[in-house]
Amino acid sequence: MNPYFYLKQVIGDYWNCDLDEKTINSSDFFLKAAKDAVKISKTSIIKYVGHKFDPHGYTLLMVLADSSLTLHTWPEEKFITVEIFSCSERSEPEKGLNFLQKLFNPRKYEIKHIKRDI
pLDDT confidence band for 118 (50 / 70 / 90): low
Cα–Cα distance for residue pair 21/1, rounded to 1 Å: 49
Higher pLDDT, 4 or 110: 110
Residue 17 falls in the annotated catalytic set: no
- Domains of the chain by residue range: 10-115
Strand partners, 81: 13, 72
- The confidence score (pLDDT) of residue 7 equals 86
Q: Choosing from 26, 67, 86, 91, which is the catalytic residue?
A: 67
pLDDT confidence band for 6 (50 / 70 / 90): confident
SS3 115: strand
CATH architecture of 10-115: 4-Layer Sandwich (3.60)
Inter-CA distances, 99 with 4, 6, 56, 57, 93, Å = 28, 23, 24, 21, 10
Sheet holding 79-86, edge to edge: 45-52, 58-64, 67-74, 79-86, 8-17, 106-115
Q: What is the largest CA-CA distance in the chain?
A: 49
Residue 67 falls in the annotated catalytic set: yes
pLDDT digits (tens, 9 = 90+) for 19-77: 999 999 999 999 999 999 999 999 999 999 999 999 999 999 999 998 999 999 999 99
pLDDT digits (tens, 9 = 90+) for 79-108: 999 999 998 888 999 999 999 999 999 999
